[in-house]
Structure 1
Amino acid sequence: MSKYMQLFQGTSFSSKSPTEIQVLTDCLYCINADGMIERVVAPEDTEYQSLLDTYQGSDSFHRLEEGQYFLPGFVDLHVHAPQWAQSGTALDIPLYDWLNTYTFPLESKFSDLGFAQKVYEDLVSTLLANGTTTALYFATVHKEASLLLAEICAGKGQRGLVGKVVMDDPEQNPDYYRDADTSTALMDTEAFIIAVKELAKTTKQGVYPVVTPRFIPSCTDAGLKGLGKLAAKYDTYVQSHCSESDWAHGHVKDRFQKNDAFALHDFGLLRDKSVMAHCNFLDDQDAELFADTGTAIAHCPISNAYFANSVIPVARFHAHNVEIGLGSDLSGGFSPSLFDNIRQAVMSSRMLEDGVNTSLPAAERGVPKSRITVHEAFYLATAGGGECLSLPIGRIQKNYVWDVQVIDTRLPSAKLPIFDELEDVQDIFQKIMYLARPEHIREVWVQGEKVHSR
């Protein structure tokens, strides 16, 4: 019999497909030394009892208590790490004003590594406590502070994909917060990529460098072209904002006479490892380009409610075979919890389908076939995010990493309304999706290592 590093017993929920949940009832999850799920053994399997007999009573055996369930760790595809310090403020003003009045002044402070460490350590710990095991981060223009964020992810056990932000256009960025010039921006980005790749050699769960033009309005043509070349040279991930709002979308059309998607593609920034945030204004040709290049979308439903001037048509993009995951967009989105974003994704899709302008007849008010289910929103936060990053994460099944959160539905201070022991397990899943809060997350594991407990 194989010797596993860890053996877990309990019921798990995982995405079987974008619309279906797989329930594995009272199974054994066999985790190897690399933190991968080597086997899932069901109670009816012949080896089930012998595995129990071998591992019960040892430190490597973990059995869930009554009312506890495994969920995959969440994959947050869009986090502005420095903005954690202003989360929950200034969400009632336009995006352009928000950036220049609040966000850029805050991000400029991350030249102070002491301040950066204080904010970033708190952020990574908070996201882990909220069940986020993988995060795709925008840092700031500062190379040293951006590397510090990657080091904190490595130290705390979170799988972090980190980008040193590029803002090299002196006409579009404030004097106090931008890259010194295009050459410096590209040299710093390359040095950052090399340093993070070196850090990754000693990090079990993985950290990854990400080429990160903030968005087209903040970058010169030469900067964007240079970043595309670096992404190809080092085969890195790429992230940016794409067609987020009327203002951002219109800026690119005025500058290039084409939409964001095609402009980014011209600079070599749409590739199989690219994740573009928001994308609310993509048309069908843009979506087809995303599908052809393997570019994914980070859907940020809470943030979109404040700044996007629209609701993203998730169902339409999925019909074009575009990969989509979920993002919190801290701090344009106020919540660090992807549970909150799962809920908002469902609500926003219903509003898009039904419409909100009551001066129009009901039949003309919305966009038909736009709604998504809570199963689909959960998929975006887990398996969908893993597929966007082309990593074996976001599912509880063989050959995926053991990234999980343990949900306790019977927490005395916040018991979920589950009264019948024979209650349908699908209903229990839905109650977890709609009602779980951070205190229900009792443990979080990344790559087979416990990184949070409550």
Structure 2
Amino acid sequence: MAADKKNTVFYGTFIHSKKLDELEYLHNTAVFVDSNGKILAVERDCDLDNIATTLFPKLGWQAGNVATEKIKDGQFFFPGFIDTHLHASQYPNVGIFGKSTLLDWLNRYTFPLEASLADPAKARAVYTRCIRKTLSHGTTCAAYYATVDVPSTNLLADLCAASGQRALVGRVCMDQLSPAWYRDESPEASVAATRASIAHIRGIDPAMEIVRPVITPRFAPSCSAPLLRMLGELARETGLPVQTHISENVGEIALVKELFPPALTGAADESYAGVYDAFGLLTDKTILAHAVHLSEGEAELIRERGAKVSHCPCSNSAITSGAARVRWLIEKGVVCGLGTDMSGGYSPSVLEAARLAALVSRHVAMGGDEGAKLSVEEVLYLATRGGAEVVGLEKKVGGFEVGKEWDAQLVALGEVDVDGTVKGVEAGEAEDGNVDVFGWESWEERVAKWLFNGDDRNTRKVWVKGRLVHERK
């Protein structure tokens, strides 16, 4: 926040997930956020005109140091979205995947772009745009993959800290199954570079309030057994989170089985999840992207270890990897969130990921599992509270309870006037996107329309830890 930080009263309608299948609607409500971005009180049916005398004294606030953010009727506050898996370094390639499947796509499109970000000017342009774009879509926290280059990774962390976006930033580790010009020279070199990046990120945010380092083996096939073992040891030593990919497509799974037989890993279980577990990389701080083709045994192992899953419906469809069974995972007790997975995914929007999660679940249902369908409430839970748990921030963000931090977005939908025009447009205001509200819709219906038709035009303001980090003029 600015040097003259103030306490703030946010007033209007607040919508957040109460539990997996239920949204809570708080109308005429005031949320009191202190100058450090923490929610101190939530008052329903609040008399805004008298709070200075009735509520400020209880909080120890002085009226002269309090700002008020009162929103219009029909607008609402919603928790910031949490993107649990995306590649900042691939942002220029969104929508560019041709007819490729995963392994071909990496060599043709991904590795050349990532390697080119060793150029600091190019990296700055790409990362700056990626951060701005995700913030504009309401993403208040992102789990980022950078590149193998330490300065490039450190720059991404610097830019996240400067912009105010919460982030997990990982230097990508890979010492095999990639071009010689884009890989780590050895397991030792990979770990040394990772330590350097971790030290830098801890240096810019020692308390890890906004930016945190994350240990990032790209995926098992791109890492030798010695590297995976050393990264597992680093995870134990530092207590840091781990992010990687798992079971994205059948070709990749076959490759893992070929590269990591039990004789090499020392594990009785030769599954993909078993490989990570054998090397100490399957922990309660591990984020596993995709998880499309997990076996029953793998799902149980993931649950036992407390690892989490980032569901990436956009890229799973775009690269024809498959349809993840999210309901099945949830019922197994596996915590799930949503990831945009740019650039396998084509959109920086977690709202788009949520709508696609709903649609993909219907494709799973059409395959014979009627109970697989995810509701509006459920996919919005995954986009907020579920994502918060995936990245280890469930005690800090994801809802509007007292004690949580103010990571939020202000959402405005287009209100249609009696003559069929959108209110305010003729007065010079920007039209509020693709969602038209006629006035007779219930709040549940408005949220559903936002989910299936909304975009960044509906996101008017975004805050992280009380700091305004994006505003749509």
| TM-score bin (small chain) | over 0.9
Question: Would the alpha carbon gap of residues 52 and 303 (structure 1) be closer, same or farther in structure 2, given more than 3 Å must change?
Answer: farther
Q: Write the distance in 1 (CA, Å) between the matches of 2:236 and 2:26.
A: 40
Choose which of 299, 313, 324 in structure 2 pairs with 1:312: 324
Aligned runs of 1:54-203 on 2, under 5 Å?
A: 60-169=67-176, 172-201=177-206
Matched, 1:450 2:461: no
Which residue does the alignment assign to 1:286? Answer: 298
TM superposition shift of 1:137: 0.5
SS in 2 for 1:397: coil
CA distance in 2, matches of 1:191, 1:201: 15
Q: CA deviation at 1:415?
A: 6.3
Provide Cα deviations, 1:314-368, integer angstroms capped at 9, x if missing partner.
011101110000000000000001111111101110011113xxxxxxxxxx233
Residue aligned with 1:106, SS: helix
Shift of 1:18: 0.8
Q: Is the 8 A contact 1:386 1:393 kept in 2?
A: yes
Distance 1:390 1:202, change over 3 A: closer
Distance 2:397 2:382 in 1: 12
Post-superposition shift, 1:49? 5.4
- Separation in 1 of the partners of 2:257 and 2:26? 49
1:430 corresponding residue in structure 2: 448
**Structure 2: distance between partners of 1:304 and 1:370:** 17
Q: How many residues align?
A: 436
Secondary structure of the corresponding residue to residue 26 of structure 1: strand
| Rounded Cα–Cα distance in structure 2 between residues aligned with 1:79 and 1:71 | 22
Alpha-carbon distance between aligned partners in 2 of 1:200 and 1:151, rounded to the nearest angstrom: 9
Counterpart for residue 376 of structure 1: 378
Amino acid at match of 1:166: C
Q: Cα offset for 1:190?
A: 1.1
- CA-CA distance at 1:156 after TM superposition: 0.3
Unaligned runs of 5+ residues in structure 1 are: 356-365
Provide the residue aligned with 2:310 in structure 1.
298
Structure 1 runs, 4 residues or longer, greater than 4 Å off: 52-59
Distance in 2 separating the partners of 1:58 and 1:442: 24
Correspondence list, 1:341-356, <5 A:
341-355=353-367
Q: Tell me the equivalent position of 2:23.
A: 21
CA contact (8 A) 1:27 1:41 kept: yes
**TM-superposed deviation, 1:66:** 2.1
Deviation at 1:256, TM superposition (A): 2.7
The amino acid across from 1:259 in the alignment is S
| Paired residues of 2:405 and 2:466 also in contact (CA < 8 A) | yes
CA distance in 2, matches of 1:332, 1:206: 26
Q: What SS class does the counterpart of residue 396 from structure 1 fall into?
A: coil
- Is the contact between residue 316 and residue 370 of structure 1 (CA under 8 Å) also seen in structure 2? yes
Identity score, percent? 35
Aligned match of 2:407 in 394, 403, 408? Answer: 403
TM-superposed deviation, 1:280: 0.7
Does structure 2 retain, via aligned residues, the 8 Å contact 1:13–1:429?
no
Q: Normalising by the residue count of structure 2, what TM-score does the alignment of the two structures yield? A: 0.89
Aligned-partner SS, 1:66: coil
1:223 and 1:397, CA in 2 relative to 1: closer, same or farther beyond 3 A? Answer: same
User: Partners in 1 of 2:99 and 2:31 — Cα distance?
Assistant: 46
1:445 alignment partner, SS class: strand
Residues 143, 391 of structure 2: 8 Å contact kept: no
- C-alpha distance in 2 between matches for 1:40 and 1:337: 29
State the distance in 2 between where 1:66 and 1:58 align: 26
- The one-letter code of the counterpart of 2:184 is D
- Tell me by how many angstroms 1:59 deviates: 6.1
Please report the RMSD computed on the Cα atoms of aligned residues, expressed in angstroms.
Answer: 1.9
Tell me how far 1:93 sits from its aligned partner.
1.5
Partner of 1:419: 438
**Aligned residue for 1:328?**
340
Q: Are positions 1:254 and 2:258 aligned together?
A: yes
Give yes or no for contact 2:247–2:290 (8 Å, CA) kept in 1. Answer: yes
1:9 pairs with 2:11: yes
Quote how far apart the aligned CAs of 1:255 are: 2.5
Structure 1 distance, partners of 2:296, 2:357, is: 21
Q: Residue type of the partner of 2:235?
A: A
Q: TM-score, normalised by structure 1?
A: 0.92
Q: Check conservation: 2:6, 2:66, Cα contact below 8 A.
A: no
| Displacement of 1:33 | 2.6
**Do the aligned partners of 1:246 and 1:308 also contact (CA within 8 Å) in 2?**
no
Query: Which stretches in structure 2 are left out of the alignment for 5+ residues?
Result: 57-61, 262-269, 416-424, 426-430
